[in-house]
Amino acid sequence: MRPPQEIIRHKRHGGTLAEAEIAHFIAGLTDGRVTEGQAAAFAMAVCFQGLSLAERVALTRAMTRSGTVLAWDLPGPVLDKHSTGGIGDAVSLALAPMVAACGGFVPMISGRGLGHTGGTLDKLASIPGYDVAPDLACFRAVTRTVGCAIIGQTAELAPADRRLYAIRDITGTVESLDLITASILSKKLAAGLDGLVMDVKTGSGAFMAEIEAARELGASIGAVANGVRLPTVALITCMDAPLASTAGNALEVAYAIAYLTGRRREPRFHAVTLALAAEMLMIGRLAADRGEAETRLEDSLTSGRAAEMFSRMVAALGGPGDLVEDPGRHLPRAPVVREVREAGTVAAVATREIGLGVIALGGGRTRPQDSIDPAVGFTDLARPGDAGGLLGVVHARSEAEADRAETSLRAAYRLGSPSAGRPAVLERIG
């Protein structure tokens, strides 16, 4: 078997790797024989040269088998959703309890923030006491008794992806279609799913800024999922502006709670959440068609069952039992809160810049070992067509940081006459 450096060299020059070579490299990534530098070089080689479908399937299988693969015996389908990442994308926090309230089981393995996008795991880590990395026995128990459990990758589940994920975040290889495909599917296969729904973002705040690239990624995930026998549907959704009007970790948890309890339901966030959750119910045969699925999901919200599921999940994983009733008591808050105003109508948003603004405030990472300030970010973000003068509200640790965030927020907005916006859900692949 070729040593790691020769596997890297072969791929760097455009060669095709055998399944055994990929498995050997991933095994080395898991047990430490492959160094961080070699993993970064492999990721860069793949980013430049790409992988064939057979190589993508082999990489996905190898990363799945690098740890434990769960098997379930539950009275309903085991389902999940994954997003390629965006700004203000707190959908997972609302969707998982909604699907659980409709009879599905959602063992969701989520990641940290990647590049300019926020991570579901970082959001949940802002909840005091919430254990984002429980052992597998706890993960199984919460999924079984509550119906949903959102955690991070443990040492047992797809550990090779866990290591490569952190390296991709800081080496400029996040956008690789092949690595995204293998990363997503290896985690989901390790979770023992019966079905998966993908949210592939496109637009100014997405990794796939052009819709053609989003279609390519959706098709890639579908092809590899078919190769590993995981029923999968993908929706392409619009990220031309923040999905929610909030960006930041604790701030997005508060937003999701407001959504679940009905205190605030913004149309675009609701449309994407409902569309993805409906696909989950249909792929799990919990609803015969989209109309039935949406009716059941709306009822989970109006009845309060979805909010109850979220509350039970948080408590079962160590968080406060009254978080839903009193989020302001438990979630961290930044000491400096500042409105940013500018007269005029919002024509367009450079959404990626808002994500980078959250990172600059301390709400994201530039190195794997960086800590995150959970309280910082933006709320009340304006969307194209808004003309009230408020661009957003900065939540910062200091006045100096608020000054910088205000500058970056102003730079992210273009004022003028807005063009016709795209719908929240653009296409379905499946």
**Which of the residues are catalytic?**
80-83, 120, 168, 183, 187-188
Count other Cβ atoms within 10 Å, centred on residue 320. Answer: 19
Task: Return d(Cα 29, Cα 320) in angstroms, integer.
Answer: 37
245 burial via Cβ count (<10 Å: 0-12, 13-18, 19+): buried
Full DSSP string of 252-304 = HHHHHHHHHHTS---HHHHHHHHHHHHHHHHHTTS-SSHHHHHHHHHHHHHTS
Quickly tell me which residue has 């959704």 as its tokens: 237
Q: How many CA atoms lie within 13 A of 41 on its CB side?
A: 16
Residue 78 token pair: 């085991």
Give me 422's structure tokens.
Answer: 């795209």
Buried b (16+ CB within 10 A) or exposed e, 248-265: bbbbbbbbbbbbbbeebe
Give the SS3 label for residue 84.
coil
User: The tokens of 274 are what?
Assistant: 């409902």
d(CA 164, CA 181): 13
Block residue for tokens 């579901």: 120
Q: Calculate the CA 373 to chain-centre distance.
A: 19
Distance CA 30, CA 66 (A): 7
Dihedral of CA atoms 341, 416, 348, 414 in degrees, nearest 10, equals -50
Residue 399 makes CB contacts below 8 A (sequence gap 6+) with 336
Amino acid identity of residue 61, one-letter, is: R
